Amino acid sequence: METNELNTVQRDLEGQVAIVTGAASGIGLAITKLLESRGALVIAEDINPDVNDIFKDNERIIPFIGDVATEQAAKEVVAIATERFGKLDILVNNAARIVYKNAIDMTLEEWNSIMGITATGVFLHSREALKAMIPNQMGAIVNIGSYACYQTFPGISAYAAAKGALAQITRTLALEAIEHGIRVNAVGAGDVVTNLLNTFREDGREFLTEHGKVAPIKRAAQPEEIAEVVAFLASDKASFMVGAIVMVDGGMSVVIQ
């Protein structure tokens, strides 16, 4: 591949404006960095105030502190994109929460929190993003799902319900948005070595590393591997993909355990 051709591939999102939720760590952090490296201007949203320090030295990434489960955050973050840059091209709904508890032990507060962040937040941000994208008749929304979009195991009733909702939100919005030139797809991620479990177990990263060995590929993913698929779905290379749930789970969803 010629050098100038390689540079074109690496900067295939030049001038695009993106929002990434859950951007302060893990998959969201990897996505934010990759989209920026491909040429996008990125608004990095997270409820964790550390998002300010993480991106303080990068003029092409604007940190935003917000609770993705609220209408206020969804409206404000989209307003930042449209007011500062005049448009919004890409939304990545990545923020999520999980708790390992059987349903009988789960509180309503925990259920509502998981559903709010992982499903309602996807709806709210997508709704506001579509309002900004429709006038331009173009855009891409990428939702971060899981093999829990389809499969489940004991202890994740709320998370599985939320990811199942995410899959159906993806498909429905894809049908509603495509007439406006906007593509909506999702990534069904497998076990990824992140801090997702750290809110309720100290060995969260180690657990995910070990649990990933159950998959046919015999390992967990690194966040950067998921980010590459997200960048593809957000780009014009995926121009014929509408309403897809792209499984990136090391084969977990196709094997009978």
Is 147 a known active-site residue? no
Active-site residue (options: 100, 147, 150, 159)? 159
Q: How far apart are CA 81 and CA 132, in angstroms?
A: 9
Contact 19, 45 (CB under 8 A): yes
SS (H, E, C) the chain: CCHHHHHHHHCCCCCCEEEEECCCCHHHHHHHHHHHHCCCEEEEEECCCHHHHHCCCCCCEEEEECCCCCHHHHHHHHHHHHHHHCCCCEEEECCCCCCCECHHHCCHHHHHHHHHHHHHHHHHHHHHHHHHHHHHCCEEEEEEEEHHHCCCCCCEHHHHHHHHHHHHHHHHHHHHHHHHCEEEEEEEECCECCCCCCCCCCCHHHHHHHHHHHCCCCCCECHHHHHHHHHHHHCHHHCCCCCCEEEECCCHHHCCC
Which residues does the annotation mark as catalytic?
159
